Amino acid sequence: MSNLIEVVVPDIGDFDAVEVIEVLVAVGDTIEVEQALFTLESDKASMEIPSTAAGIIDEILVNVGDSVAEGSIMVRLKAVSVIENVEEATPEVSAGAVVAGQATNIYVPDIGDFDEVEVIEVNVAIGDTVEEEQSLLTLESDKASMEIPSTAAGVVTEIKVAVGDKVAEGSLIVVLCSSAATPNAVEPVAEKAVASATAASVAAKLPSALETAQTVVSTSKPAGRIHASPAVRKLARELGVDLAAVKEATGPKNRLLKEDIKSHVKRLMAGGISSAAPSDSGIPRIPEVDFSKFGETESKPLSKIKRLTGTNLTRAWLNVPMVTHHDLADITDMEAFRKSLKGDADKRGVKVTFLAFIMKALVAALKEFPQFNSSLSADGQSLIYKKYYNLGIAVATPNGLVVPVFKDVDKTSIFDLAEQMSVISKKARDGKLSPKEMQGGCMTISSLGGIGGKAFTPIVNAPEVAILGVTRGDMQPVWNGKEFIPRLMLPLDVTYDHRVIDGADAAAFVVALSGYLNDIRRVLL
């Protein structure tokens, strides 16, 4: 029926002996060409060794801790033809088949110097037919994960442990009903609804199992037990994929392959399917890393403001296609005018900053380009234009970033804006802003002028469609047609929602804004 094929270590570079740190298959596993068999680790890197042939694992010749070199025999496979695979996947089942046998207890074998190890995966369900050496559980210690194979073949009648339980050597984990080999023995082609602990009740449930055994080769994964090799499970853990959420299994007997995991991730990234991942982002989460392995660490919880800000920014980043346009505005004359107002400002007890002028100039630009003063409808089919001009100003506080909203900026004077900014900034730093004071914005300004920098790419504060970033202005030589003259130039960064605004409109908007800042008197026109 089959011939033994020896799979050897391929060319692994300039290494005489490399240590085996992980065995990814077990005796009895059906593997595909290029499926990972072992993980090796040198002093420079780790590498997975793929199979050069397809078949069933008959013998594993190396163990964790062994050192191997190019040409070392790793496993021997039974080569099985496609026809034989189909025959094995479609056993004949008669309604009168009786599974008879005796109970066999499966215990945790020697797992090394561990008193208790946590169960992280249960790989079988009641009613499953398992083969000798088939993986039953996955355990994980603080150093490694390991799969516990069955020491006998039979039908699972009881499972004595659950995910999260602690087990040790000798712990009873599964009870099997070991059956005699008969022509009518039922193999797990599809998941069977068998939930009894006795052989007689297992046989009584066979008709319902027959109903689910109609499809021999399927690309949809049945509910219940998840068929996947250790290498596939490892890949899923690295990518943050819940195996139960993968809808298609293209391997033999509905076995999950690495390609199924990768296809699932691609569909998540494309938005083709929803994800129930705790990150709520629709994409695999970043794998957790134990940084204490590399040195001393300290963990401090994020403030509530930072947690909420992170959620909002992530949602905006994932939903809004953003582009940032950078430019410079000449504010030499505006700055001279601002300084000339110092006497009047002192009488009012306020300090006029250039931010108040930027707000007035931005409103003038919004009136000229109303698509910037809009929001996209929830269904993405229409644009909602706003007839009011409320601006959000990002304020850094000890607990994180908050964005108070200044209402009716078009109707507010420079001095009143300066006064409002002084009051609201203090409330923000003291954590006394009300929710109402942070709602209703049309566009947001994020200013780093008091800190520094030349440019940055602010994230749109959705459902707004644009945000203005401002960094520190500095004196630069500007050619006026005859000579270079010193001018105070202010970097501007406008990030916009490309679904609503195209590049030409964004460039025109920034040019207009720069014009208003260059000659603030134009705001009055």
- Tell me the per-residue pLDDT of 234-243, one tens digit each, with 9 for 90 and over: 788 778 788 8
pLDDT of amino acid 179: 55
In this structure, is residue 366 part of a structural domain?
yes
pLDDT band for 371, please (50, 70, 90 cuts). very high
pLDDT higher for 312 or 504?
A: 504
- Check which CATH number belongs to the domain holding 98 and give it: 2.40.50.100
Q: Classify residue 74 by burial, with Cβ atoms within 10 Å: 0-12, 13-18, 19+.
A: buried
> Which contiguous run of DSSP H or E holds residue 344?
helix 342-348
| Contacts for 5 with CB less than 8 Å, ≥ 6 apart | 53, 55, 76, 77, 78, 79
Longest pairwise C-alpha distance within the chain: 103
Q: Is residue 87 part of a domain?
A: no
The answer to whether the CB of 112 falls within 8 A of the CB of 185 is no
pLDDT tens-digit profile of 340-358? 999 999 999 999 999 999 9
What contacts 24+ positions apart, CB below 8 Å, involve 337-342? 337/520, 341/414
Instruction: Identify the CATH number of the domain in which residue 267 sits.
Output: 4.10.320.10
254 inside domain: yes
186 and 330 assigned to the same domain = no
Q: How far is CA 341 from CA 212, 345, 415, 517, in A?
A: 83, 6, 9, 16
Question: For tokens 């339980």, what's the residue?
Answer: 165
Q: How many domains does the chain have?
A: 4
pLDDT computed for residue 196 by the predictor: 36
Q: Supply the CATH number for residue 475's domain.
A: 3.30.559.10
Q: Are residues 279 and 355 in the same domain?
A: no
pTM for the complete prediction? Answer: 0.49
User: Domain check: are 166 and 39 in the same one?
Assistant: no
**Structural domain span for residue 442:** 304-524
DSSP state of 220: B
Rounded mean pLDDT, 154-172: 89
Does residue 290 carry a pLDDT above 50?
yes
Which pair of structure tokens corresponds to residue 239? 């990518």
Residues 484, 377: one domain? Answer: yes
How confident is the model at residue 141, as a pLDDT?
A: 66
Mean pLDDT of 100-109: 80
| Average pLDDT in the chain | 80
Q: Are residues 264 and 169 in the same domain?
A: no
Active site residue 264: no
Q: Angle of helix 354-368 relative to helix 332-340, nearest 10 degrees?
A: 130
Is 525 or 96 the better-scoring residue by pLDDT? 525
Instruction: Give 314's pLDDT tier (boundaries 50, 70, 90).
Output: confident
Confidence at residue 435, expressed as pLDDT on a 0 to 100 scale: 82
Q: Sort 250 into a burial class: Cβ within 10 Å, 0-12 / 13-18 / 19+.
A: middle
> Which whole-number Å values give the CA distances from 289 to 294, 346, 357, in the listed order?
10, 55, 47
